[in-house]
Structure 1
Amino acid sequence: MPTPHTAEPGIRIGLSDLIDMRHRVREVQLFSRPGQRSPLVGLHPSKLRGRGVDFDQVRVYQAGDDVRNIDWRVTARTQEPHTKLFHEERERPIYILIEQSQRLFFGSGLLFKSVLAAQAAALFGWAALDHNDRIGGLVFGDGEPHEIKPRRSKQSLLQLLNRLARVNQLLHTDATPQPDSLGLALRRAREVLRPGSLAIVVCDERALSEQAEQHLSMLSRHCDLLLMPVSDPLDHALPAAGLLRFAQRGAQLELDTLDASLRQAYHQQAQARIERWEVLTQKLRVVLMPLTTRSDLIEQLREHLSAQRPGHNR
């Protein structure tokens, strides 16, 4: 097994970097606040879901209180009627699925795709915690997935970020990809997520399989979805750079990038992947926010949020 690496800016990311993402939450409004509406307001329920109330405190019974809420144990102990008070339950589970695999360990822009995916997961995690939601998730990729159950605690988020940083540190180009790791991760999400949850999927743009589409379709029936496929400029277009040689795990490949038909076919494959994501999200009526290593994460999110505001012309 390869040994962990120290954080290399843009190439690898450490736990301290993921913790520092909490300072960037204020730069972009991902969730709504009192008196403010985020373009992602649809990702939070406008009506209370589930039980709708959480226990708050016990106080002395007052005229007009619902007798069904009398706390008989406290009443018996104090010899004075006490009633339970409740507050509205507005938080909900937010489950972030983050891919950290060999195919993400690459980048020709500002940073590696694996680092961008980790940054996005951390940013949404801190934003969810700041919004008083329960946060958990699943880090998946070439090895065994690592899961943290959603809880409303900073410790839960830190556990998820710690797992994320550890997996990121161990990424290397010779890893053996796990077939359809996204599909397996989504199947797990379907097993643990209750109705009304929000699932945020941060994965490689090339990860979408038929099985993954089926799981996303079934998840969308009772959960909100935010899909964030990650790509690099070289995923979409080959430069005219002459003969390029690639080698991995004993296999070799030569490409003549001066061949215009080859570059065109490569670009068409990329466009087909993009259109597949777009068609799927339109069909499921969920939110799509593709990310690229070409520019800063916050800038991209601002652009996506602006595009979703009513009256915006794409």
Structure 2
Amino acid sequence: MATHQHPPGIGVSLAELIEMRYRVREVQLFSRPGQRSPLVGLHHSRLRGRGVDFDQVRVYQAGDDVRNIDWRVTARAQEPHTKLFHEERERPVFLLVEQSRQLFLGSTERFKSVLAAQVAALFGWATLEHNDRVGGLVYGDREHYEIKPRRSKQSLLQLLNRLVKVNQSLNADTLPEPGTLGGALRRAREVLRPGSLAVVLCDERALDPTAEQQLSLLARHCDVLLLPISDPLDHALPAAGLLRFAQGGRQLEIDTQRSSVRQAYADQATARQQRWQRLASQFGTLMMPLSTERDPIDQLCDYLNPQRPGPAP
């Protein structure tokens, strides 16, 4: 697989992804014991660094969470019983990172492929800092690389190195391969045990029926965090006159001066966003869309630390 050293913003380097470890403390990705989750009100459960395992059932006591009442045992015993849980020792976090031709695009600060790599590195370092296991799947148009979850810096560096190699191999001549997200989600279902956290970093345009089905199946047994990535050009066409596009011997002309064309393009983007929102609500997963036009840390802070102070005037 040929690689090219892309300029900053168009490609990433291993040094850049290693540097993300020093930005982990700028955003609270995982809740800490005794801290109120920053996701209260955004999601039905918090984005935990560790999950919880079932421990036992006992008679309900004053102060117990009524949401943990075991109604089957209560019905049999004719007395309220509640479930008790204990915290897991560690929790596997699996990063599914798309690095396909679809992401090789950017009109502002960085390409979508770069944003996906940066955020994946941030989650990887945060996972290790929280003493959990991290692994992942880097997938492109025709290849994928998988690293099993381990609590190991070397394992994370191996994943990041693979991520850089695929990122640097992207170019404008590559033909996109449809359906890559569905295959990645299917593989995650095969390797992840119940209670794991799957962090999905993919193009906003990656959804298809296969991906939806696999996402539904994965969400039944694992917590899923969806991070669809977009660029401003995905949502609005500039009024730039007649644009010509060519790919695989095919050509397309679009007259962007026509307001009806720009409106139809914007409507398609809105429909994609609404589709993601419906799926997240239907499957009970958390979603935090990301854009290339802003720093990834700032965007994550807006979702997770909404009470943080703003910049000084």
Pairwise TM-score range, normalised by the shorter structure? 0.7 to 0.9
Distance, in Å, in 2 between the alignment partners of 1:283 and 1:214 is 12
**2 CA distance for matches of 1:50 and 1:160?**
32
Q: Does 1:44 align with 2:44?
A: no
The verdict on how the C-alpha distance between 1:307 and 1:277 changes in structure 2, with shifts beyond 3 A counting, is farther
Aligned residues: 274
- Equivalent position SS for 1:279: helix
The change in CA–CA distance for 1:217 and 1:142 in structure 2 (over 3 A counts) is same
Q: Greater shift after overlay, 111-120 or 40-49?
A: 40-49
Aligned CA distance change for structure 1 residues 51 and 251 (closer, same or farther; 3 Å): farther
Structure 1 residue 96 displacement after superposition: 0.5
Q: What does 1:265-280 correspond to in 2, within 5 Å?
A: 265-280=264-279
CA separation in 2, counterparts of 1:267 and 1:151? 42
Separation in 2 of the partners of 1:275 and 1:148? Answer: 32
**CA contact under 8 A between 1:29 and 1:38: conserved in structure 2?**
no
Specify the alignment match of 1:248 in structure 2.
247
Q: Deviations over 1:238-278 (max 9, x none)?
A: 01111111222322221110111111110000000000000
- Given that 2:92 and 2:197 are in contact with CA atoms closer than 8 Å, whether structure 1 keeps it comes out as yes
Separation in 1 of the partners of 2:124 and 2:50? 21
Aligned equivalents of 1:213 and 1:181: distance in 2? 12
| Counterpart Cα distance in 2 of 1:4 and 1:181 | 21
Paired amino acid for 1:43: L
- What is the CA distance between 1:50 and its match in structure 2? 7.3
Q: Unaligned stretches of 5+ in structure 2?
A: 40-44, 57-85, 309-313
Q: CA RMSD in A?
A: 2.1
**Are 2:130 and 1:131 aligned?**
yes
d(CA) in 1 for partners of 2:217 and 2:196? 13
In structure 2, what is the equivalent of residue 97 of structure 1?
Answer: 96
1:123-147 deviations in Å (ceiling 9; x for gaps): 0111011001100000012121100
Which residue number corresponds to residue 145 of structure 2?
146
For residues 23 and 243 of structure 1, do their structure 2 counterparts lie closer, same or farther at Cα, with a shift above 3 Å needed?
A: same
Within 5 Å, which residues of 2 pair with 1:88-237? 89-237=88-236
Unaligned runs of 5+ in 1: 53-86, 310-314
Matched to 1:211, the amino acid is T
AA of the residue aligned to 2:254: L
Percent of residue pairs identical: 65
Query: For residues 292 and 204 of structure 1, what CA distance do their matches in structure 2 show?
Result: 10
Write the distance in 1 (CA, Å) between the matches of 2:274 and 2:175: 28
Distance 1:110 1:51 in 2: 48
SS at match of 2:52: coil
Deviation at 1:199, TM superposition (A): 0.2
Q: Tell me the amino acid that sits aligned with residue 132 of structure 2.
A: D
Q: State the 1:88 CA deviation.
A: 6.9
SS in 2 for 1:108: coil
Cross-structure match for 2:238: 239
CA 1:30–1:191: 2 relative to 1, 3 Å? same
> In structure 1, the residue corresponding to 2:220 is in which secondary structure?
coil
Question: How do 1:276-291 and structure 2 match up within 5 A?
Answer: 276-291=275-290
Q: Provide, for residues 87-119 of structure 1, a one-character-per-residue CA deviation record: whole Å limited to 9, x for no partner.
A: 974311100000001110000011000000000
- 199-208 vs 140-149, which deviates more? 140-149
Structure 1: 4+ residue segments shifted above 3 A: 45-48, 306-309
Task: Provide the rounded CA distance (Å) in 2 between the counterparts of 1:50 and 1:165.
Answer: 39
Asked if the contact 2:237–2:262 (Cα under 8 Å) also holds between the matched residues in 1, the reply is yes
Larger Rg: 1
Secondary structure at the aligned position of 1:49 is classed as strand
CA contact (8 A) 1:30 1:38 kept: no
Q: TM-score scaled to structure 1, two decimals?
A: 0.83
Letter in 1 for 2:53: R
Structure 1: distance between partners of 2:241 and 2:128: 49
Letter in 2 for 1:102: R
Distance, in Å, in 1 between the alignment partners of 2:174 and 2:54 is: 43
What TM-score do the two structures reach when normalised by structure 2? 0.83
Residue of structure 2 equivalent to 1:15: 14
Residue identity matched to 2:101: Q
